[in-house]
């Protein structure tokens, strides 16, 4: 398919570039007219994590649903500072009468070089000044309540699922964190959780069911979050601005939000930055407006407006600023493709990157054969210069760090647009669900290369090569030994969440097996039905497994029971080291390992 390239640049002579037909969502906010005294009002929960959580137990906030967030950055890219006027406006719907409620906002960090150092200016609720304070989290389910002053409950751990120093039996209260990337990773086991819960008390309670807006103004330096595995994520300083890549929790290091994967408001961005800079965000570019010189921006400024009509999970919000060269192309199926590279990347490297970036539409169409229609109105890639240690599936604007893009990784991140982005994991323990699907995309890419070599997708030899390559990859993974099977995908430790075989290769092999068990057509139908049923929302492990169960070709109670055994073995079991008998003992037709079906095609 071909399309039209439109070059967008802040050097445009005209004052504004407006793409018509796209309006900014501006939810109406009605002033509550309710007699508060008759209502039972209480504080919203300071976490959305279930009791006993040891993965980011401090994140998310209850008592309301996040509907829409307008990000209104006023950012000096030279100084790497948010200036006065910088704010976010969050539109929420109360699910109870709220005397107070909270947001996640790590405005200060022990990491004094790359961490955030921001200052709160003011908070309003429905336009009226509100009181605010920062508190430490308590562990979910703390019998003494979420204001428990017991400091023993406030300890972080890197590798131990219980909190703090070895013998503390209490669950941890916050995400594992290090002020630097020193090893060993548990050197600071037992550190107090930072006070990153921003608790807001409105001048009058917010009635249950009402829609309300919260405006938080703040200034200062955004930064990165130090994570339990020694990596950082969030707002990376680039020589020409900031590069935003944030999984799993780093969004709160540059803006206050309901920082939980299942909280998915729609987003608008209206960012004012130094003249000459480019802003990249989720969704579609609405306008670029040049502003005259001001006290904050003596050289003039430019306001970039983006809009995401689709909900965006907390860790997928993109808002990078720098000397990016941005192009936009409208494909003939109506999807907009954005490509951006930092101008500091050497020209030769940029050319090589571009050749890979230009494949995104083709990759999207290939992946659509399995997942169904691409879920968003735009897609894109940004290649930045900071050496963030990962690439990320930011919704409709995939980030590549270090000035470099890789084709296999683009298959992976683009697959996430369906799995993780459109249908989001309900909680961090479900990370394996979407990483397994994205790893499957890399395996499908290898199969596609073999298919092309053997005669292409319309030749029997090509199709046989495609299938044989998937089988080979399953068998290679299934032959793994050592510690490969020792962690249960659905019960990850903070330290290995984004590095272990349990998150990536093991669930991807389970999906190849499922494709054999269900049949290729049924596997695809199951995936497409999940997209239709859960798109724009999140999914639990039980819902994910039930979706495959519906498409099991042999609907006997024995086969349904065997399928739940299959999921238990592949997703929920930690085996002793070694492989062999210490690994799942249910495979699929044509694959190594005990077959799902018996000789008669049944399951008994």
Q: Which residues bind Zn ion (CB under 5 A)?
A: 435, 438
Q: At its nearest, how many Å lie between Zn ion and the CB of residue 399?
A: 12
Provide, rounded to whole angstroms, the least separation between the CB of residue 369 and Zn ion.
Answer: 20
Closest CA to 579 of 466, 484, 468, 437: 484
Query: DSSP state, 257?
Result: B
CA distance 475 to 477: 5
The full 3-state SS of 294-338, as one line of letters, equals CCCCCCCEEEEEEEECCCCCHHHCCEEEECEEEEEEEECCCCEEE
Tokens of 136: 């430490």
> Shortest distance, CB of residue 247 to Zn ion, whole angstroms?
8
The Cα 57–Cα 270 span in angstroms is: 32
User: Can you tell me the distance from the alpha carbon of 184 to that of 203, in angstroms, rounded to the nearest whole number?
Assistant: 47
By beta-carbon proximity to Zn ion, the closer residue of 75 and 419 is: 419
- Of the pair 216, 438, the CB lying nearest Zn ion is at 438
Closer CB to Zn ion, 340 or 394, in the complex: 394
**What's the full length of the chain, in residues?**
604
Of residues 411 and 534, the one with the C-beta less far from Zn ion: 411
Judged by beta carbon, residue 173 or residue 409, the one nearer Zn ion is 409
Least separation in angstroms between residue 572's CB and Zn ion is: 21
CA distance 118 to 432: 33
* Smallest separation, CB 392 to Zn ion (Å): 8
Query: Which CB sits closer to Zn ion, 286 or 438?
Result: 438
Q: Which is nearer to Zn ion, 206 or 398 (CB)?
A: 398
Sign of CA dihedral 205, 208, 210, 216: positive
What whole-number distance in Å separates Cα of residue 365 and Cα of residue 588? 27
Considering the complex, what minimum distance in angstroms separates the CB of residue 557 from Zn ion?
36
286 vs 512, which CB is nearer to Zn ion?
512
For residues 556-570, one letter each, b for 16 or more C-beta atoms within 10 angstroms of the residue's C-beta and e for the rest, the string is: eeebeebbeebbebb
Least Cα distance to 196 among 248, 154, 245 occurs for 154
By beta-carbon proximity to Zn ion, the closer residue of 414 and 569 is 414
What is the nearest approach in angstroms of Zn ion to the Cβ of residue 527?
17
Q: For Zn ion, which is the closer residue by CB, 419 or 485?
A: 419
CB of 499 to Zn ion, least distance (A): 12
CA distances from 297 to 75, 274, 303 (A): 10, 6, 12
In the complex, least distance from residue 420 CB atom to Zn ion, rounded to whole angstroms? 7
CB of 431 to Zn ion, least distance (A): 9
DSSP secondary structure string, 401-467? Answer: -TT---HHHHHHHHHTTTBTTTBEESSGGGHHHHHHHHHHHHHHHHHHHHHHHHT-TTSHHHHHHHH
Q: Which long-range contacts (CB under 8 A, 24 or more apart) does 555-560 make?
A: 556/602, 556/603, 556/604, 558/602, 558/603, 558/604, 559/597, 559/602, 559/603
Closest-by-Cβ residue to Zn ion is 438
Question: In this structure, what token pair is assigned to residue 480?
Answer: 């793994």
- Of 155 and 392, nearer to Zn ion (C-beta) is 392
Question: Closest distance between Zn ion and the C-beta of residue 412, in Å?
Answer: 6
In 10 A of CB 596, how many CB atoms? 23
Q: Is 115 left (phi over 0), alpha (psi -120 to 50) or beta?
A: beta
CA distance 356 to 349: 11
């Amino acid at each position: 398919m071909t399309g039209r390239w439109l070059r967008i640049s802040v050097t445009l002579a005209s004052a504004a570039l407006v793409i018509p037909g796209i309006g900014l969502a501006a939810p109406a906010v009605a002033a509550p007219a309710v007699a508060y005294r008759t209502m039972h009002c209480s504080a919203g929960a300071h976490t959305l994590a279930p009791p006993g959580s040891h993965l980011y137990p401090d994140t998310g906030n209850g008592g309301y649903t996040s509907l829409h967030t307008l990000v209104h950055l006023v950012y000096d890219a030279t100084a790497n500072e948010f200036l006065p006027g910088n704010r976010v406006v969050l539109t929420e719907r109360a699910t109870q009468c709220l005397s107070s409620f909270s947001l996640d906002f790590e405005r200060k960090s022990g990491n004094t070089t790359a961490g955030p150092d921001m200052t709160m200016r003011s908070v309003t609720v429905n336009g009226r000044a509100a009181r605010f304070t920062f508190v430490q989290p308590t562990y979910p389910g703390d019998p003494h309540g979420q204001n428990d002053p017991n400091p023993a409950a406030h300890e972080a751990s890197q590798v131990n699922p219980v909190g703090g120093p070895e013998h503390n039996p209490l669950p941890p209260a916050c995400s594992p964190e290090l002020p630097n990337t020193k090893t060993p990773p548990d050197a600071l086991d037992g550190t107090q959780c930072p006070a990153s819960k921003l608790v807001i008390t409105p001048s009058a309670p917010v009635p249950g069911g009402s829609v309300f807006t919260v405006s938080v103004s703040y200034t200062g330096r955004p930064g990165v979050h130090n994570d339990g595995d020694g990596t950082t994520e969030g707002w990376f300083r680039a020589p020409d601005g900031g590069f935003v890549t944030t999984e799993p929790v780093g969004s709160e290091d540059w803006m206050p939000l309901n920082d939980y994967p299942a909280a998915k408001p729609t987003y608008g961005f209206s960012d004012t930055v130094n003249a000459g800079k480019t802003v990249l965000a989720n969704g579609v570019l609405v306008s670029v407006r040049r502003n005259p010189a001001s006290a904050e921006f003596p050289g003039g400024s430019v306001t970039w407006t983006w809009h995401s009509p689709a909900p965006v999970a907390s860790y997928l919000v993109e808002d990078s600023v720098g000397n990016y060269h941005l192009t936009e192309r409208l494909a003939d199926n109506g999807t907009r493709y954005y490509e951006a590279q930092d101008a500091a990347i050497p020209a030769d490297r940029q050319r090589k990157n571009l050749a890979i970036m230009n494949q995104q539409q083709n990759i999207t169409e290939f992946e659509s054969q399995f997942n169904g229609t691409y879920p968003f109105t735009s897609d894109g890639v940004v290649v930045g210069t900071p050496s963030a240690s990962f690439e990320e599936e930011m919704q409709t604007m995939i980030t590549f760090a270090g000035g470099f893009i890789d084709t296999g990784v683009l298959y992976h991140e683009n697959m996430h647009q369906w799995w993780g982005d459109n249908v989001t994991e309900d909680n961090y323990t479900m990370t394996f669900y979407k990483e397994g699907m994205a790893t499957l995309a890399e395996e499908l890419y290898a199969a596609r290369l073999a298919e092309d070599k053997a005669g292409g997708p319309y030749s029997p030899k090509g199709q046989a090569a495609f299938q044989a390559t998937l089988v080979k990859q399953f068998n290679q993974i299934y032959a793994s030994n050592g510690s490969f099977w020792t962690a249960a995908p659905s019960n990850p430790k903070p330290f290995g969440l984004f590095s272990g075989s349990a998150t990536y290769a093991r669930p991807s092999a389970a999906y190849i097996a499922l494709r054999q068990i269900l049949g290729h057509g049924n596997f695809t139908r199951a995936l497409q039905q999940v997209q239709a049923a859960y798109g724009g929302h999140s999914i639990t492990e039980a819902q994910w497994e039930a979706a495959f169960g519906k498409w099991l070709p042999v609907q006997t109670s024995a086969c349904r029971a065997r399928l739940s055994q299959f999921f238990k073995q592949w997703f929920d079991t930690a085996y002793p080291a070694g492989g062999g008998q210490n690994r799942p003992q249910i495979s699929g037709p044509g694959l190594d390992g005990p077959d799902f079906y018996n000789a008669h095609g049944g399951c008994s």
